[in-house]
Amino acid sequence: MIVYYENMNGEKLNLLKAPFRTTKTDWFDADWSESSDGYEKTVTIDVFGKREEFQTNMEQLYRIIAVDAENDTYGKLYVNGAYLRCKVLKSAKEGWKGYVYSEVEITFQAPELVWVVEATRQFFPQLEETAASGIDFQYDYPFDFAGEKRGIAAWDVDHIIPSEYRMIIYGPCVNPKILINDYPYEFFVTLESREYLIIDSQRRTIRRYLTNGTVQNLFNQRAQKQTVFERIPSGLLNINWSGDYGFDLTLFLNRREPPW
């Protein structure tokens, strides 16, 4: 089991390894009710060490968990590969035993009770054609019975609901169009070599990143007949594109409790 908190600066606090060890928690509790006030998760940890070590450990604890609270932003609480966007609301010290041990109850506050598992696949350019299934004759004929295809892939997504996504399309390419189970994700843009396009369905943003560091908002360069922010279904995904370019696809698999 892997559990840690990561603040906005990338600093991590391992909650299952000395000198910080979780003794009580409710992070596996699920709740499907809606709350405008957000959700709270409580973790009780033991902090220990010899006098100077203990002081150092308590100071380290404070410096990591206080960053997001002081900056009014969110870090991530990771449990078994899933993360919850949250920040520390309060910490209470109990069971105080001099400068060698303390029981610390940490309350995390999350805007929504969503544990996220990120699943990413890379799809590389397919410049060589792959023979499609068809009739295989013993002798060659001057015409194609089976047909040949490129830009085809499959991905079996083990989840129970559709997912938000982030897609990165790499240049060079012109007007990239990706079909996922025949649903089009299409963008009217020309990407040069080393340029890329990032589509974020959660934030509803489409941005082009140029080689000189410029970032362009291409929200209006999307196909509008069908929304490109459509969540991607679970199960078997049949993916088709021209094969002339590559792209990365990250699915945000949301759940009410972390994986066991």
Domains of the chain: 3-113 (2.40.30.200), 117-255 (2.60.120.880)
pTM, entire model: 0.86
Q: What is the rounded CA–CA span in Å between residue 250 and residue 204?
A: 15
Which single residue is written with the structure tokens 């078997």?
236
CB 193 within 8 A of CB 180: no
Contact between 167 and 248 (Cβ < 8 Å): yes
pLDDT for the residue 130: 56
Report which residue type is found at 89.
Answer: L
For residue 142, name the pLDDT band (cuts at 50, 70, 90): very low
Phi, psi for 19 (deg, rounded to 5): -95, 15
Give dist(CA 88, CA 82) in Å, integer: 18
For 78-131, how does the pLDDT look when each residue is reduced to its tens digit (9 = 90+)? 999 999 999 999 999 987 777 788 999 999 999 999 999 999 999 999 987 654
pLDDT per position as a tens digit, 31-56: 888 777 889 999 999 998 888 999 99
DSSP assignment string, the chain: --EEEE-TTS-EEESEETTEEEEEE-TT----S--TT-EEEEEEEEEE-SHHHHHHHHHHHHHHHHHHHHHT--EEEEETTEEEEEEEEEEEEEEEETTTEEEEEEEEEESS--EEEEEEEEE----S-EEPS----SS--SS-SS-EE-SEEEEEE--SS-BEEEEEEESSEES-EEEETTEEEEB--EE-TT-EEEEETTTTEEEEE-TTS-EEE-GGGB--SS-TTPPBPSEEEEEE--SSS-EEEEEEEEESS---
User: CA nearest 86: which of 175, 140, 26?
Assistant: 26
Residue 25: pLDDT band (50, 70, 90) is very high
